[in-house]
Amino acid sequence: MYQADESASTTCQAQTTCPYCGVGCGVTATLENGALTAVEGDRQHPANYGRLCVKGSALHETLGQQGRLMRPRVDGTEVDWDTALEAVASRLTSIRQAQGNEAVAAYLSGQLLTEDYYVANKLFKGFLGTPHLDTNSRLCMASAVVGYKRAFGADAVPCSYEDLEEAELVVLVGSNLAWNHPVLYQRLKVAKTRNPLMRVVVIDPRVTDSCEIADLYLGLKPGSDARLFNGLLSWMAAKGKLDRVYLERHTQGFDEALAAAREDAFDLESVAADCDLDAEALETFYYWFASQLHVVTLYSQGVNQSSSGTDKCNAIINCHLAGGKLGLPGAGPFSITGQPNAMGGREVGGLANQLAAHMDYHTPGAIDLVTRFWTTDRLVPTLPDAPGHKAVELFEAIERGEVQALWVMATNPAVSLPDAARVRAALAKCPLVIVSECVTDTDLLAYADIVLPASSWSEKDGTVTNSERRISRQRGLLPPPGEARHDWWIMCEVAKRLGYGEAFAYTHPSEIFDEHARLSGFENVADTGRRLFDISGLAGLDRAAYDALAPIQWPVTAQAPHGTARLFEDGQFATDNGLARLVPITPRGPEQRLSAARPLRLNTGRIRDQWHTMTRTARAPRLMNHRAEPFIEVHPDDALAYGVADQRLAVLTSEAGEYRARVRVANAQRRGEVFVPMHWTDRFTKQARSGALISGYTDPLSGQPESKHGAVALAPLSTAWEATLLVSEALSDAAPWCESDYWARIPMRGCQRWQLASGQVEHDWLERLAAWLPEAATLWCEDAGDGRLRAAAVKDGRLCWWAMIGPPAELPGLAWLEQRFNDSELSDTHRRRLLAGCDDGAADSGATICSCHQVGQKAIVSAIRDGDTSVEALGARLACGTQCGSCIPELKSLIEEERAHAKPTPDTQVA
Ligand SMILES: Nc1nc2c(c(=O)[nH]1)N[C@H]1C(S)=C(S)[C@@H](COP(=O)(O)OP(=O)(O)OC[C@H]3O[C@@H](n4cnc5c(=O)[nH]c(N)nc54)[C@H](O)[C@@H]3O)O[C@H]1N2
Ligand SMILES: Nc1nc2c(c(=O)[nH]1)N[C@H]1C(S)=C(S)[C@@H](COP(=O)(O)OP(=O)(O)OC[C@H]3O[C@@H](n4cnc5c(=O)[nH]c(N)nc54)[C@H](O)[C@@H]3O)O[C@H]1N2
Ligand code: SF4
Ligand SMILES: [Mo]
């Protein structure tokens, strides 16, 4: 029904869901002659009502066959599917026979569809009999899951997006919503405009773009959130701001929780001092929170990615329970999910401590129930009886040789796990590594014995669940390229070869979804302990109904056939006695300790325009422009203290590894702390993987790593020269310049940009360039005195490469040169201007601020200087900020900066 018509020249539109963040926006895709040519927000979709952010609106630019995996590979050789599947089945079998079921493991991802996830869980836990199936959600949501389970008895997000709009107070804790959940942020911003009484508080050690709408910003000391919320609980008690009736009727554990909070946070001044906050500002927050009923606390990785993340979640939930602030419109503790289907994975049981369908191993009767459900006429599954290894432990078990076969799907542990060097060593020694992946170029593939080409977004068909429990369809609109196949299909084919065909006889994802829906409702009745996750109301959909499925929030049952927007409205929780639990919290600091050798706190996280390891977003060159190179954000005082300067290169070292990138001196950063992005891999730069700096400490309850709290030293990277090389696509493969001490590759349209630097003096640049590049320079201009050079090579009328030796600050705007790489015949005028790198008078527009309309910083600054001193005026002149709106905070800060420059104060001096 949604299949693109390949033959006729037709244009049609189809509804699907964005594959990036947990907001789960509906996307309307335009298909022309079998190609997906445009996307826009689906106006009917309740997550976004027509909006899309920069990443979502560039989706169609990330498609295409180039760089996609097309054929399976076994031991480095391309093979047909039958050979590959046979190899998977026989190698898994021989390892199980020799070492036992538990020698086999899977590592999955919140980017799989629910149907893929369900099949993987059933195959590994049910039929391969191994509990070792975990997922990258361990790095992301694990603490939030345990927090909810401890408090509510189930992993259940109580809120809806509408609650954010209906709240009187919204508290963002460790969430940069403006960049990471941009459409939800826009919804919040609109709601705040409509309700002038609404207040927003941002709690984050960094001043982020989300502060644009903050009435109060608390730039707390990293890791001190539990103390801050313990302080809130004891303040509420001291000021008589508790909801005694709610506590009495619907909760347990309050006295213990309060005693623990009081012991830790006996007075406001000491809490403020421990969190490094102004006591008055802290009390303002406490007062606002305590005096409002309609409060949503939205929390994310600044809370979860901690060795005490679970406790931080419960410290937050405690305050909501104590004030009766949940189960109401505009109220609740809201863990926002990161990946498009982090929730779907949690629903099927994709974490190693879960069994299936919100049942754990210790849930009474669960193993028997799932066994009976998965039993077929001739097959009885052999379920493990206890939880398996959580991600970090799993790689330790591989290191020890206990786990000998690992199947990785839709994630890149060689980059995203902490202590990445150790993970790589474990992968290198693992006898069997199977990788299901869509693209040819990832750091992980080097470790794969068997590579399986998977279909990707726009090809895959199934469901995802967003942060508000809303299940939406991702639709298969295009055929996968080459021989790429759907993840569920690949696993079912392996299952058949292992003799489990009968239990994996699905012919379409709708059949898998139906089984998943039935399991959620199977014996899900009050007397055996009701499970909150119940979508039995969606069981029995035929293919057409499944294809037409409209977005719906679980639970979906006979009683709630249209889904459920808000949970716990009746004050009944999923615990044994129906009461919610307050948990006593004793705050703990980060495990990665600062020392004289590593005095700086390392914070890691996301940037606006990139998605994780950039396998998709870097395919849209315009998304590379906002932050083109890996960077280190440093407070001006620290820059001075450690001898690093803005836009120069520097190196961070931790006990686990090293990271080289360009410094951004930023007032938004606290003193003593640095921030680096998580996105760069060895595909894009020499040495700037944040995972290499983070040590593998985890939360004892959730197993989530402490990715936000590294300990590092900072020093300048000494350089004798810096260079920029633009190279046509044809010359980009061999890159001998990667020998340099620093390199970063930046994909552009029709060429690749390389930023290079080294500590070794180069005496003859023309000779060096001749050694690096097959085409000799045809034009150059050298200033031997200061080591500057510009050179280019033109062959058969086409530009082959362009080079500049000198600091990148001297670069012309690269848009003009980018266009020249796409000229099939350079004009004489263009040839003459090549070394200048621009047309006469063509201004360099600077780093891209507005990705939607490609508006650069310099153009914006010059418009501000011309008198356009409001976001609206800038939008009217340059169109920046008028589409998705994500750049508005940056526009505002540029306006502020210009204002500050006009009236210089000693504080605004930035190196
Ligand atoms: N553009 C973009 N959007 C994304 C993603 C992406 O890759 N790119 N990934 C998606 C995924 S999977 C996820 S999980 C989400 C994550 O979304 P977020 O959690 O918003 O993302 P992060 O940037 O990792 O971290 C959030 C903030 O936590 C702050 N923080 C650090 N330490 C502390 C602390 O001790 N206390 C507090 N209160 N805050 C602290 C950081 O300064 C940072 O601003 O984003 C999703 N959206
Ligand atoms: N230092 C630090 N580390 C972090 C974090 C942090 O904030 N700081 N954040 C953590 C968090 S929250 C997360 S979610 C992780 C994310 O980290 P990863 O999961 O490792 O990152 P991705 O780039 O999303 O990896 C997904 C891979 O799957 C491929 N892929 C995409 N779709 C499909 C598909 O349908 N099928 C298959 N088979 N493959 C597919 C993509 O090409 C890509 O290679 O990183 C974690 N690591
Ligand atoms: S907000 Fe998230 S789901 Fe929506 S378009 Fe952007 S990346 Fe996609
Ligand atoms: Mo995540």
593-614 pLDDT, tens digit each? 999 999 999 999 999 999 999 9
Nearest ligand to the CA of 883 is: 3
In a domain, 517, yes or no: yes
Domain with residue 876: its CATH number is: 1.10.10.1100
Q: What is the DSSP letter of 529?
A: -
CA dihedral 713, 718, 719, 724 (to 10 degrees): 10
Ligand 1 atom closest to 55 (CA):
1
Q: Are 462 and 405 part of one and the same domain?
A: yes
Q: What is the pLDDT of residue 910?
A: 34
Residue 305 CA to ligand 3 centre (angstroms): 22
At 796-842, the pLDDT tens digits run 999 999 999 999 988 888 989 999 999 999 999 999 999 988 876 55
In the predicted structure, residue 525 carries a pLDDT above the cut 90: no
795 pLDDT above the threshold of 90 = yes
Phi, psi of 747 (to 5 degrees): -60, 135
Assess if residue 637 is contained within a domain.
Answer: yes
CATH code of the domain containing 494: 3.40.50.740
pLDDT of residue 907 exceeding 50, the answer is no
- Going by C-alpha positions, the residue among 463, 423, 459 that lies closest to residue 548 is 463
Q: Is 758 helix (H, G, I), strand (E, B) or coil?
A: strand
Query: Does the Cβ of 290 fall within 6 Å of ligand 3?
Result: no
Closest residue by Cα to atom 2, ligand 1, is 180
Q: Of ligand 3's atoms, which has the minimum distance to the CA of residue 182? A: 1
Pocket test for ligand 1, best of 59, 202, 204 (most atoms within 8 A of CB): 204
Q: Is 339 in the pocket of ligand 2 (CB under 6 A)?
A: yes
Ligand 1 and 633: CB distance under 6 A = no
The per-residue pLDDT for range 252-270, each reduced to its tens digit, is: 999 999 999 998 767 999 9
In angstroms and rounded to an integer, the radius of gyration of the C-alpha atoms of the chain is 27
Residue 336 in contact with ligand 1 by CB distance below 6 A = no
- Domain end call among 773, 799, 832: 832
Report the separation in Å between the CA atom of 306 and the middle of ligand 1, taken as the mean of its atom positions: 12
pLDDT tens readout for residues 114-155: 999 999 999 999 999 999 999 999 999 999 999 999 999 999
Determine the length of the chain.
911
Which segment of 362-376, 516-530, 653-667 scores lowest on mean pLDDT? Answer: 516-530
pLDDT at position 3 over 90:
no
Question: Is ligand 3 within 6 A of the CB of residue 182?
Answer: yes
Does the bond joining 555 to the residue before it have cis omega, within 30 degrees of 0? Answer: yes
CB count in 10 Å sphere of residue 402: 16
- Who's near 512: CB < 8 A, 6+ residues apart? 115, 118, 119, 462, 488, 506
User: Do 370 and 457 have their domain in common?
Assistant: yes
Q: What is the pLDDT of residues 164-206, one digit of tens each?
A: 999 999 999 999 999 999 999 999 999 999 999 999 999 999 9
Residue 410 near ligand 2, beta carbon < 6 Å: yes
Average pLDDT, the chain: 94
**pLDDT for 660 beyond 90:** yes
- Dump the DSSP string for 819-831: HHHT-SS--HHHH
The whole-number pLDDT of residue 590 equals 98
Do 785 and 885 reside in the same domain of the chain? no
For 722, counting Cβ atoms within 10 Å of its Cβ (0-12 exposed, 13-18 middle, 19+ buried), the class is buried
Tokens at 798, concatenated? 């086409």
Which 3 state secondary structure label does DSSP give 682? coil
- The number of the ligand nearest the C-alpha atom of 410 reads 2
Q: Say if ligand 1 is within 6 A of residue 173 CB.
A: yes
Assess whether the C-beta atom of 852 lies below 6 angstroms from ligand 3.
Answer: no
- Out of 708, 884, 886, 890, mutate this one to test ligand 1's pocket (max ligand atoms within 8 Å of CB): namely 708
Whole-number pLDDT of residue 549: 97
Is 55 part of any domain?
yes
For ligand 2, is residue 848 a contact (CB within 6 Å)?
Answer: no
CA–centroid distance, 495 to ligand 2, in Å, is: 26
Same domain, 160 and 192: yes
Give the burial class of 869: count Cβ atoms within 10 A of its Cβ; 0-12 exposed, 13-18 middle, 19 or more buried.
Answer: middle
Whether 758 and 727 map to the same domain: the answer is: yes
In whole angstroms, give the CA distance from residue 902 to residue 894.
12
The tens digit of pLDDT for each residue in 611-629 reads 999 999 999 988 998 899 9
Q: Which residue has the tokens 């303040």?
A: 235
Residues 88 and 97: their CA atoms lie apart, in Å, by 14
Kindly state whether residue 843 falls inside one of the protein's structural domains: no
Instruction: Give the SS3 label for residue 71.
Output: coil
Neighbours of 478 (CB within 10 A): 20
The dihedrals phi and psi of 333, each to the nearest 5 degrees, come to -85, 115
Same domain, 671 and 811: no
Q: Among 23-27, 46-50, 880-884, 906-910, which stretch is predicted with the lowest mean pLDDT? A: 906-910
C-beta 711 within 6 A of ligand 1: no
User: Is residue 177 domain-shared with residue 322, that is, in the same domain?
Assistant: yes
Kindly give the interhelix angle for 225-238 and 254-264, rounded to the nearest 10 degrees.
110
Distance (Å) from CA 677 to ligand 4 centroid: 13
Q: For 403-414, what is each residue's pLDDT tens digit? A: 999 999 999 999
Ligand with an atom nearest the CA of residue 487: 2
At 909, the pLDDT band (50, 70, 90 cuts) reads very low
> What CATH number is given to the structural domain containing 247?
3.40.228.10
Distance CA 766, CA 781 (A): 10
Q: Quick one: pLDDT band at residue 355, thresholds 50, 70, 90? A: very high
Q: Which atom of ligand 1 approaches the CA of 224 most closely?
A: 35
Which amino acid appears at position 159 of this protein? C
pLDDT band, very low/low/confident/very high, at 844 (cuts 50, 70, 90): low
- Confidence band of 859 (pLDDT split at 50, 70, 90): confident
> Is the Cβ atom of 612 under 6 angstroms away from ligand 1?
yes
Is there a domain that residue 908 lies in?
Answer: no
Range of the domain at 630: 600-716
Alpha carbon nearest to ligand 2 atom 14, residue: 140
The two three-digit tokens of residue 203, written as one number = 């709690």
Which atom of ligand 2 lies at the shortest distance from residue 442's CA? 44
Tell me if 59 CB under 6 Å of ligand 3: no
Q: Report, as an integer, the average pLDDT of 843-866.
A: 84
Average pLDDT in the 670-691 region? Answer: 97
> What's the confidence (pLDDT) of residue 841?
58
List the one residue out of 789, 792, 743 whose CA is nearest residue 765.
789
Q: Is the CB of 338 under 6 A from ligand 2?
A: yes
Q: Residue 185 Cα, ligand 3 centroid: separation in angstroms?
A: 11
- Residue 96's pLDDT is 98
Pocket test for ligand 1, best of 137, 186, 301 (most atoms within 8 A of CB): 301
Overall average pLDDT of the 506-528 stretch:
93
Which residues neighbour 784 within 8 Å (Cβ) at sequence distance 6 or greater?
Answer: none
Atom of ligand 3 nearest to the CA of 184: 1
Residue 46 Cα to ligand 3 midpoint, Å, equals: 13
**How much helix, strand and coil, in percent to the nearest 5, is found in the chain?**
35, 20, 45
Q: Is 695 in the pocket of ligand 2 (CB under 6 A)?
A: no
The protein residue with its alpha carbon nearest to ligand 2, atom 45, reads: 416
- What are the backbone dihedrals phi and psi of residue 189, each rounded to the nearest 5 degrees, phi first? -65, -40
Nearest to 109 by CA among 391, 297, 524, 303: 391
- Determine the atom of ligand 2 nearest the C-alpha atom of 412: 20
Domain count, the chain: 6
Distance of CA 689 to the CA centre of its chain: 15
Quick one: pLDDT at residue 843?
58
Q: Is the pLDDT of residue 867 over 80?
A: yes
212 lines ligand 2 (CB under 6 A): no
39 CB under 6 A from ligand 3? no
Residue 527 is predicted with a pLDDT of 63
Q: Is 796 left (phi over 0), alpha (psi -120 to 50) or beta?
A: left
pLDDT, position 756: 97
DSSP string covering 442-493: -TGGGG-SEEEEB--TTT--EEEE-TTSEEEEE---SPPSTT-B-HHHHHHH
223 CB near ligand 1 (under 6 Å) = yes
Q: What's the pLDDT score for residue 9?
A: 64
What DSSP letter does each residue of 832-876 carry, written as one string?
HHTTTTS-TT-----SEEETTTTEEHHHHHHHHHTT--SHHHHHH
Same domain? For 214 and 79 the reply is: no
Q: Is residue 255 part of a domain?
A: yes
Nearest to 463 by CA among 540, 520, 546, 349: 546
24 Cα: distance to centroid of ligand 3 (angstroms): 6
Give pLDDT, residue 902: 74
- Please check whether residues 16 and 49 belong to one and the same domain: yes
The answer on 226 and 111 residing in a single domain is no
- Could you tell me if 397 and 265 lie in one domain? no
Token digits of residue 580: 């919610």
CA atoms within 13 A on the CB side of 647: 10
Per-residue tokens: 361: 């191993």
Task: Check: CB of residue 604 under 8 Å from CB of residue 675.
Answer: yes
The model's pLDDT over 361-404, given as tens digits with 9 standing for 90+, comes to 999 999 999 999 999 999 999 999 999 999 999 999 999 999 99
| Ligand 2: residue whose CA is nearest its atom 18 | 411
Ligand 3, atom 6, lies closest to the CA of 53
Q: Give a yes or no: residue 240 inside a domain.
A: yes
Among 536, 553, 570, the domain boundary falls at: 553
Q: Which residue is closest in CA terms to ligand 2's atom 28? A: 410
Query: Is 792's pLDDT higher than 80?
Result: yes
How many other CB atoms are there within 10 angstroms of residue 764's CB atom? 10
- Domain annotation covers residue 566: no
Grade residue 903 by pLDDT with cuts at 50, 70 and 90.
Answer: low
% of the chain beyond a pLDDT of 70:
97
- Residues paired with residue 600 on neighbouring β-strands, in sequence order: 712
Cβ(52) to ligand 3 under 6 A? yes
Residue 899 is predicted with a pLDDT of: 87
Q: What's the CATH number where 35 sits?
A: 3.30.200.210
Q: Which of 687, 716, 745 is the last residue of a domain?
A: 716
User: Which of 343, 390, 416 most suits a substitution to test ligand 2, by most atoms within 8 Å of the C-beta?
Assistant: 416
Residues 32 and 105 in one domain: no
| CB of 408 closer than 6 angstroms to any ligand 2 atom | no
Answer yes or no: is the C-beta of 18 below 6 A from any ligand 3 atom: yes
What integer is the mean pLDDT of 679-698? 97
Residue nearest (by alpha carbon) to ligand 3 atom 2: 21
Residue 4 has pLDDT above 90, yes or no: no
Half-sphere exposure (Cβ direction) of 810: Cα atoms closer than 13 Å: 13
